[in-house]
Amino acid sequence: MAKESDFYQVYEVFSRRGNKAPMQHQFSLLAPNKEMAMMMAQENFMRREEVIDIWVVKQNDVRKMSSEERQNWTKRLDNKEYRTTKGYGYLRQKWKEKEQGMLDEKEIMSWKEVKRK
């Protein structure tokens, strides 16, 4: 007889809490196929939290970083201010001199409502 371990696969489970939330990794489970994995996922890991969407992915299908890659590929020099707002912070003072406000993240994200004519 085949060993049970031959057909139980590891599935990684992801879920999304709300429309603005990213897909988030939750945990993993054992299931014989993806339909069964899906049927188990919500009640195993999200019994008490909001969920609007779920993905299950067979663990073997995930290209994960190896141990070495995690050690070697994830470290960066701290010299990339030009890539972030941190490198442009001096503008706040400049605009202030010209009696203008800074268009920072808070301001720009608030533009979703445009006054209707």
Partner 1 sequence: MNPIVETAEQAKQNPEYLKALKELLYQLADDDLLISFRGAEWLGLAPHVEEDVAYSSITQNTMGHAVMYYNLLEELGDGKADDLAHGRKVEERRNGTYLEKRNGEGKYLEDPYYDWALAVVRNFFYETFKKTKLEAIANSSYQPLAYVARKVLMEHPYHLAHWKLWIQQLQSSTEEAKNKIKQRVLEAWEEFGDVLELGTLATDMRKHHLITIGEEELLDRWQKEITEVLLDVPNATLGKRYGSGRNGEHTADLVQALDTLAEVYNSDKSAAW
Partner 2 sequence: MYNYVEDGDSKTTAYVEQDQEKYDAFMARIEAGEKIEADDWMPEDYRQALIKLISMHGISEIMGALPEKEWVPKAPTLRRKLGIMAKVQDEMGHGQLLLRVAEDLMKPYGKTRENIMEDLLNGDLKFHNVFHMPTKTWADAGMVGWLVDGAAIISQTNMLDASYGPYQRALQRICQEEVFHAQHGESIIMALAEGNQYQRDILQESLNRWWPALLMFFGPASAETTGSSKQDIMIQYKIRKSTNEELRQAFLSKYMPRVFSLGLTVPDETIRYDQEQEKWIYKQPDWEVFKEIIRNKGPRSKERLRLREIAYENNRWVRTALATEPVSV
Enumerate binding residues for partner 2 (CB under 8 A). 1-8, 10, 27-30, 32-33, 35-36, 44, 47-48, 64, 66-67, 70
Nearer to partner 1, 5 or 79 (CB): 5
35 vs 104, which CB is nearer to partner 1?
Answer: 35
- CB closer to partner 2 out of 30 and 103: 30
Specify whether the CB–CB gap between 34 and 11 falls below 8 A. yes
- Calpha distance 87→79 (Å, rounded): 10
Taking the complex as a whole, the smallest distance from the CB of residue 36 to partner 2 amounts, in Å, to 7
